[in-house]
Structure 1
Amino acid sequence: MKSQWLLLCLALSSTASTNADEAHGTEEDSPKHTEEENKEKTHDILEDKDVMVLHVNNFARALSENKYLLVEFYAPWCSHCRALEPEYSQAAGILKNETSEIRLAKVDATEEKELAAEFGVDSFPILKLFEDGKRENATDFTGKRNAKGIVQWLKRRAGPAATFLGTEQDAQELIDAHSVVVIGFFTHLSNDDVKVFYETAMEITDVTFGITTLPEVFKKYSVANTAVVLFKQFDEGRVEFEISKKLEKNELTTFIMNNSLELVIEFSEENADKIFGSKIHNHILLFMNSTEESHVQILNTFRGGALDFKGKILFVVIDVNAGFSHVLKYFGLTEDDAPTFRLINTDTLKKYALDGKGLTAEHLHAFFQGVLDGTVKPHMMSQEIPEDWDKNPVKVVVGKNFERVAFDETKNVFIEFYAPWCGHCKELEPIWQKLGEKYKDHESIIIAKMDSTANEVDSFDVSGFPTIKYFPAGSERKIVDYNGNRDLETFSRFLEHEGQLPEESDEEIDEEDVEDEEKVSEESTVVDLKQDNETTKDEL
């Protein structure tokens, strides 16, 4: 279930955005301004917590007076914009106090529609970097959306992206000062490979970059030809990326991302972005209690297998005492289940399970290889079947009884796949209950629901909440996606027409309701680490 894993990623790495067309700002939510208020907007630039407040009348001035200007286009009703606000203000204060050439600004895109249209703002918040007063070709912000990440990204953009190392001492001091350093060894600085190196350095802002052309530095670090070397204060110490013909940005990025992580990495809020951003799609997670000696012994066995699968599987340790209950919940685990293993493929989102008790290195190796070979079956999470699952008008479906209920050849089954924290699911709940009441005595129609955060099925992915699907009677195991309005009348018409909606005029279709399904964006913005789980997919 890709959306669930993305929600977890977003909760940890702060990466989500609100689509402007799908957002639920009402007329009351969106601020209005009169012609008189518009006239009051002068060329003066006011500040709100060190962030410049821009509008159509002072935007050009702000560009002309600041060499580097990061502008946030936001909507007052957008929850992600509100979550970003303190981080954005903090970053603005840091740069302002440093008397930097970089400043931060914001534009209320719901008021400044002309500016929003000019810069193609279709979701919130959108951050764009303007350089040298130019309105054209602004750079989309791609860094981490917290104060530190914003400052890092901007400073890297303002340059230099890589420190020139003019002496052996310069190189050694840089390597000694950071846990990971990437140094480009080039014979001269005016070629395409150097350009690619600098472009890569601008994108990977949490790694320090250096560059040199000095033969003495080549000799000191035993580099014979043009190369990129990653130095790290852990594992093997250094890894070399040889440049045979042409330096490719994607290949260099993958090399850096894969080798800047420890062979076995401890999960934390600080390194979550690196883990989720890894080019390695198979992640093996060891859930352990660091205070238990027997668990530490399993960790040592776990470490022993990491080198054999380097580049194929990312090895991650999660201490169940460290407060990551949301991660445990995602995998259907509790602290008492430790030690245990879960392997997840971040591309397919298939999960694989292995109990950690009584394991040997051989067992682990066979499990890892079996997942890679496709001989190990995925693990599907499920709650226990409630004793009264079929006693109420809306039946309760879990992973363990899904097949039996959904594909009952004698029934037409209508199922809502929901998340307990989802705002739209909560809005739908009373309507779904009424639908259940309406059809509770119908001999061939079943109304049901399934908590998709605690139950998984192998037949399809749930990519939004709520997702509603219709399973018609018969032996063909058909699945029909429901994309109509979420009201009792439309649901009823859909059921009475055996899983089809009759043709309607355009005026009768509430497009906003059709499109407001909560969709997780793989690009994205800001979710608070301690979010109250009210984040909905159309907000993401």
Structure 2
Amino acid sequence: MNQQSSLQIKIIQQIPKDKGVFLLTEETFDDFINWNNLTFVCFHNNNQAKPTNYFGKFNVDSITTWIHKKTGIPSNKIENHQQLIVKSRQIDSLVVYFGPLSIKKYGQYLEVARDFMQQDDIDFSHIDTNQYSQNELELLNLEGYNERGYQVRVYRRRNLRDYKDYKDDSLDFEKLQAFIIQSTFVGPGPDIVRELSTENAMKIFTYNKPVLLLFRNTSSSDVRYYHSQLSEAYEEIQNKILVVLADINSSITQKIALLVGLDVEKDHFPQIRILDPNPGKSVVLKYVYNQDNIEKDKIIAFVNDFVSGKLSSYKKNELEPKSRSGYVTALNSQNYEKIIYDKELDVFVMFVGGGLCKLCDDFWPVYVKAAKVLSRTNGLIFATINMALNEIDDTSVYYYPTVRYYPKDSKYRPYDYDQGLDLNDVIKFVKRVASVTPVVEDYAVLIEEKKQEQLKQDASDSKEAENASKEEVFVRQELRDQNELRAEDL
């Protein structure tokens, strides 16, 4: 039994059978974190379509507290004003429900609370107004409470005087979620333009909300002017889009810049981009601010055009895609659909990423060999596309390499390669799914033909070089003869 299997059994044995939750302790924490090179923690709930990822600190107390919040009631009870003061001073953003706990609104509030990432800078609490001092309740001056019988308030910056009240008449899940995002430090808010950092980057892009980013060099002399223009524009656009400042000197900004097609070394700054997570799709949509100057009115117009759908998104596109083999066609964003969906062709395509990918490197030589062996098949091409330099609308490319076969008579129901790393496996797969008739050449014969072609080319090159050398000798001899004749005349 290998070490990993032993760890799995060790972990399983320590899971309380009645709770189904792995109990983190000082003794088990190291095994839990190091098991199978674990680099992140996520919580799976049968009632949620997607798992909730953990972005907090990697220590026993933080993860244990987070799991308790995700598995229990995600809201702490506050019984009096003193507890409210203490709680608000412990957290950057405190969301509090005021109202009876017996009404449906409280249950809806808990659903929203469960959906949120339980991080260090936000917490949820509730106050049962049937048991709370009415005098203290009146002092809180809850807007809309008397009319609706409940209220949700966000306290910010560890200060009871800094708060925002939920103003919508209905406690709708999405509306309340959006209100909390805009009012707390979970997103880029509250009510201010935030600076992109490693700590808040994941929070900003977690909630599938469009983000406007101002990429600029903080050491530039005119940076204050651009800040002022964006701040003035923010008054008009804050309810339409999240707004973030990004310093090109920071590592996280440089990564985001790559995502939007900016080169921090070559491009001129400042630059403005809108990132739309485009929920349900694999490609994040990007929009370019094409104005000459960064001015308040132009920023507002840019955002309004985005919201109204007047803008066209920008896609990364490799201008001159190059393949490492003459038998494999390199694709880019521009020609991808034209070739892939050509009804006269079967297309076998290998999607690769830009980073290190051992499996990509291992499979590529096999893929090239298959392309050579099947190169005489009419109507079949082998292709590849670098997804780090290109973007497509295909929503089902989740990992690299993804190797996919598009038959000419089944373009919208392609076949994902599901065999091994052997040449025969690839050929068998093509024979099974192809709409054309594969012509399989002997690989050794092809290699020999290629070798003979190379020998002929080398011989031709050698002969040309020999002729050139002879001609050069002849020219030199003529020059010497002419020089000798001139010398005799003198």
TM-score (norm 2): 0.65
Shift of 1:308: 2.8
Q: 1:240 aligns with which of 165, 184, 187?
A: 165
Amino acid at match of 2:5: P
- Relative contact order, CA 8 A, sep 6+: which one is greater? 1
**421-430 or 144-153: which moved more?**
144-153
**CA distance 1:144–1:305, change in 2 (3 Å):** same
* Distance in 1 separating the partners of 2:398 and 2:44: 29
The match for 1:180 is 93
* Distance in 2 separating the partners of 1:496 and 1:55: 44
Q: Deviations over 1:356-407 (max 9, x none)?
A: 7523333322322222222211211012204x65972222222244356545
The runs of 5 or more residues in structure 1 that have no matched partner are 1-26, 34-40, 42-52, 88-124, 130-139, 503-540
Shift of 1:265: 2.6
The match for 2:152 is 228
Q: How many residues align?
A: 398
* Distance in 1 separating the partners of 2:348 and 2:332: 14
Say whether the 8 Å CA contact 1:282–1:343 is kept in structure 2: yes
Shift of 1:285: 2.4
1:305 aligns with 2:233: yes
* Distance in 1 separating the partners of 2:251 and 2:137: 45
The match for 2:347 is 413
The match for 1:344 is 275
Amino acid at match of 2:58: A
1:82 aligns with 2:31: no
Shift of 1:450: 0.8
The runs of 5 or more residues in structure 2 that have no matched partner are 46-50, 438-490
3-state SS of 1:316 partner: strand
More helix by percentage: 2
**CA distance 1:417–1:189, change in 2 (3 Å):** closer
More strand by percentage: 1
**CA distance 1:79–1:408, change in 2 (3 Å):** farther
Larger Cα-atom Rg: 2
The match for 2:194 is 265
Which runs of structure 2 are paired with 1:423-438 in the superposition (5 Å)?
423-438=358-373
3-state SS of 2:390 partner: coil
**CA distance 1:363–1:220, change in 2 (3 Å):** same
The match for 2:5 is 31
Q: Deviations over 1:18-37 (max 9, x none)?
A: xxxxxxxxx8685379xxxx
Amino acid at match of 2:260: F
* Distance in 2 separating the partners of 1:197 and 1:183: 9
3-state SS of 1:255 partner: helix
Shift of 1:318: 2.2
**CA distance 1:402–1:490, change in 2 (3 Å):** same
Shift of 1:409: 6.9
* Distance in 1 separating the partners of 2:38 and 2:178: 31
Q: Deviations over 1:423-442 (max 9, x none)?
A: 43233212112123324465
Shift of 1:295: 4.0
Shift of 1:286: 2.4
- Cα RMSD between the aligned structures? 4.5
Amino acid at match of 2:93: V
The match for 1:283 is 211
1:402 aligns with 2:336: yes
Amino acid at match of 1:182: V
TM-score (norm 1): 0.60
3-state SS of 1:385 partner: coil
* Distance in 1 separating the partners of 2:64 and 2:412: 51
The match for 1:455 is 390
* Distance in 2 separating the partners of 1:407 and 1:244: 49
**CA distance 1:243–1:482, change in 2 (3 Å):** closer
3-state SS of 1:334 partner: coil
3-state SS of 1:153 partner: helix
Which runs of structure 2 are paired with 1:147-226 in the superposition (5 Å)?
147=58, 149-154=62-67, 156=69, 161-162=75-76, 164=78, 166-167=80-81, 170-172=83-85, 174-175=87-88, 178-186=91-99, 188=100, 191-194=103-106, 196-197=108-109, 201=113, 204=116, 205-206=118-119, 207-212=122-127, 213-223=132-142, 224-225=145-146, 226=150
Say whether the 8 Å CA contact 2:405–2:416 is kept in structure 1: yes
* Distance in 2 separating the partners of 1:164 and 1:126: 29
